[in-house]
């Protein structure tokens, strides 16, 4: 039997004798992902020596962390999300609650945003945009640092409700609202790693985050990637339409006022 790792596409051939003595869970030698071999004993008994079985991931590095501040678990989780989003989101236990994902986002997502803000602050100081003294600039940065987790949490909640409603309109929801929150929280915590790149990281992070989000929604809700992309784009399209309507309303009001002034002057 040939087993295939969905995380890195590593393949290995297991003979019937090796398969009979193997454990249900193995570790991929390339990406160190914990895999589960489905129906191993049945494969042996059915003589499926040449059958290719795609082993499925069991859990994620963050779900197997030692503490909330386990940097190694966060780094392994973030890299797996960034480079293997489909299989990683498929391996998440969405029934375990939102606590782990929220901590992942609030600690490391906030840290990434703070680092990204730090690079822009240095650029503003270098080009003389910040004219206040050093103490004032430091206080402003400190206040922004304290407010970052709160702003991140609010944006996560608003984004979750909006995107989940969009996906529900498209009939693509197969899990509750908290599962969508987990996807967006893990996306936020993973893209934080990109902010270590000066300036460019803050531009790359939201674009890469969009890719992670649609992979995550598709894997979490077991829906098509097209529905996931549309669910992410619908709030943007709706916002643009609202702004366009407001702009047209303001323009029409201004035009009517001009026409009234012209008519009164005649």
Q: What is the pLDDT of residues 144-194, one digit of tens each?
A: 899 999 999 999 999 999 999 999 999 999 999 999 999 999 999 999 889
Low-confidence ranges of the chain (pLDDT < 50): 40-50
Distances (CA, A) of 177 to 68, 141, 180, 200, 206: 24, 34, 5, 32, 22
Tell me, what's the pLDDT at 1?
A: 62
DSSP string, 184-201: HHHHHHHHGGGGGSTTHH
Q: Which residues pair with 35 in a beta bridge?
A: 26, 57
Q: What is the pLDDT of residues 94-117, one digit of tens each?
A: 988 899 999 999 999 999 999 998
Nearest residue to 107 via CA among 77, 138, 141, 87: 77
Cβ–Cβ < 8 Å for 163, 184: yes
Nearest residue to 230 via CA among 157, 159, 178, 169: 169
Using only C-alpha atoms, the chain has a radius of gyration, in whole angstroms, of 25
Cβ–Cβ < 8 Å for 47, 32: no
Taking the model in full, what pTM does it have?
Answer: 0.74
**Running DSSP on this structure, what letter comes out for residue 129?**
-
């Amino acid at each position: 039997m040939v087993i295939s790792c969905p995380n890195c596409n590593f393949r290995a051939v297991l003979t019937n004798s090796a398969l009979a003595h193997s454990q249900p869970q193995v570790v991929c030698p390339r990406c160190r992902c914990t895999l589960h071999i489905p129906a191993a004993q049945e494969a042996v008994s059915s003589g499926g020596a040449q059958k290719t079985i795609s082993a499925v991931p069991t859990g994620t590095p963050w779900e197997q962390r030692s503490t909330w501040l386990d940097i190694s678990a966060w780094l392994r989780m973030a890299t797996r999300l960034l480079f293997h989003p489909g299989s990683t989101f498929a391996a998440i236990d969405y029934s375990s609650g939102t606590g782990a994902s929220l901590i992942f986002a609030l600690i490391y997502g906030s840290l990434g945003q703070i680092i990204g803000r730090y690079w822009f602050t240095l650029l503003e100081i270098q080009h003389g945009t910040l004219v206040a003294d050093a103490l004032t600039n430091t206080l402003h940065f400190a206040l922004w640092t304290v407010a970052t987790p709160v702003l991140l949490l609010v944006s996560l909640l608003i984004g979750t409700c909006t995107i989940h409603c969009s996906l529900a309109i498209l009939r693509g929801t197969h899990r509750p609202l908290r599962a969508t929150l987990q996807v967006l929280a893990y996306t936020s915590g993973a893209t934080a790693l990109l902010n270590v790149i000066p300036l460019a990281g803050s531009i790359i992070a939201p674009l890469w985050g969009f890719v992670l989000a649609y992979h995550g929604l598709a894997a979490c809700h077991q829906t098509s990637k097209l529905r996931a992309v549309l669910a992410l784009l619908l709030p943007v399209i709706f916002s643009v339409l609202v702004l366009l309507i407001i702009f047209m309303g303001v323009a029409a009001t201004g035009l009517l006022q001009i026409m009234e002034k012209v008519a009164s002057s005649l």
